[in-house]
Amino acid sequence: MAPSQTKDAPGTTGDKTFLGHPRGLATLFLTEMWERFSFYGLRALLVVYLVSGGPDAGEGGAGGQGGGLAMNLATATAIYSVYNAMVYLLTMPGGWFGDRVWGPRRTVTIGSVIIVCGHLTLALPSTALFFVGLALVATGSGLLKANISKMVGDLYSGPDDPRRDGGFTVFYMGINTGSFVAPFIIGTVGQTINWHLGFGLAAVGMALGLIQFLYGSRHLDPQSSRVPSPLDAQEKRSALRKTLIWVVVAVIFYGIVVGTGTFTLNWAMVPLTVAGLVIPVVMLVRIKRDKELSEADQGRMTGYIWFFAAAAIFWMIYDQGASTVQAFGDAKTTTQILGWHFPSTWFQSINPLFIIVLAPVFASLWLALARRRKEPSTTAKFSFALVMTGLSFFVFIIPMAAASDGTKVTPMWIVLIFLMHTIAELCLSPVGLSATTKLAPAKYASQLMGVWFLAVTAGDSITGLLSIGGANLSTTGMVAVEAALAVLAGFAVFMYRKKITSTMSEVQ
């Protein structure tokens, strides 16, 4: 999409704008679009590939090739949840590298290269290398995500820039373009022709994103090339020493486990899911207790903790769209329209499609309400998102009950669930990104963006622990419990909205 020919508003870079926003938004828009193409292509294939050939596999829609790793759904859900949790957990060290070592721009470049290598590894027909590939993709994504979102915030003149929320929503719309296309290309090729060829196409997508990022970097804010708080020599030695110690401990521990023949996937998944819950809490407490922060920053962090908890509950349910809901769609819906069959991986295009359609509507709505001074507060938006997410799982119970006797239900139930997820997402995710850049103390600019993504880690870690512990997330009882939790949390946030807002000082 070409930039418009209008001049930049104050506080932007370059001499043109992109849909009324700084031109650098187009570069970040396209980079994240291709990253999401690769990420959502893998997301669409992952659970279907893991269960294919096993007891919980569906027919796979048109031309399903079979094969896969033949795992049961509980194990596949646990692996997917742990992988997804690690993608977002690693945004924390990703933010640290952006703040202290490489600067945001170089960190995004390095992360993109690692993602390409990860998808190429997944393209190799080896079960052991498959998990190495997942680890590489998670690592690269962690380096990229916190820093690219930070660079979007840098394009604007400050927290009070009226275009800021709209800019993040446009950015959000752009990344979902890649998410929408990926299941049709990567999902179809992977599910109907060859799984590993599909994974290879994800590498091609990320490579295209890297090329255009390098080409378009001249339009970014110069601040993105600087290291905000570089490590001194002593800090570098300390960081290297601590890293080596942890690596040695891990190698010795897992060497013993493997050598004694007791290693199972749980030896890897349980520690990661526990870390996914503990690390976010530790990070929030550490930032909150930093004595160098001003009283105003301390107050904003108090409000931010509320938003973090709400987001964790939201993502716990939302991310099951690619596990619990996807598996239901694969095995228990007709995967056909007017007699025409389609690959079940196409379900993962529904949410991005709704984002593309509805994101401009929400962006315009927030601006229109802001002009009239009637825009809902961040707290109100979060509350609505939680309630809507909970209601989506109450809706999910209906087709689950209808399919309990083996009957296959219409795929329109999946469409409705994803529509409700999308409405909730647009009230929480881009708004949360924007709120993070507003509330972040200068000292923790990139790191707090990493902490924001840890809300996804926390939510997915809960799902992972439940699956590892034997909870069947595909029963109506468990779905009802999750739905009720989200609705109650939404009402709690709404009831305490004035108290939360009062802690945020000058930022609303």
pLDDT tens for the chain, 508 residues: list them. 333 333 344 344 445 776 677 778 888 888 999 999 999 999 999 999 999 887 777 665 555 566 788 898 889 999 999 999 999 888 888 888 988 889 889 999 999 999 999 999 999 988 889 999 999 999 999 899 878 877 887 887 766 676 776 777 777 777 778 899 999 999 999 999 999 999 999 999 999 999 999 988 888 878 778 888 888 889 889 989 998 999 999 999 989 988 888 888 888 899 999 999 999 889 888 888 888 888 778 878 888 888 899 999 999 999 999 999 999 999 999 988 777 889 999 999 999 899 888 888 887 888 888 888 888 888 889 999 999 999 999 999 999 999 998 899 999 999 999 999 999 999 998 788 777 877 888 778 767 777 887 899 999 999 999 999 888 898 999 999 999 999 999 998 888 777 777 666 545 4
* Residue 224 to residue 174: CA distance in whole angstroms: 20
pTM metric for this prediction = 0.85
Please tell me the class of the 20-502 domain. Answer: mainly alpha
Let me know: does 191 contact 60? Beta carbons within 8 Å: yes
Confidence at residue 363, expressed as pLDDT on a 0 to 100 scale: 78
* Residue 322 to residue 134: CA distance in whole angstroms: 16
Provide the terminal-to-terminal Cα distance of the chain, rounded to the nearest Å.
Answer: 33
* 407 DSSP 8-state letter: P
Phi-psi domain of 505 (left: phi exceeds 0; alpha: psi -120 through 50; beta: other): left
- Name residues whose C-beta falls within 8 Å of residue 333's C-beta, 6 or more positions apart in sequence: 344, 399, 403, 408, 409, 410, 411, 413, 414
3-class secondary-structure state, position 475 = coil
- Token pair, residue 251, equals 């190698």
| Phi, psi (degrees; rounded to nearest 5) at 333 | -115, 165
- 131, amino acid identity: F
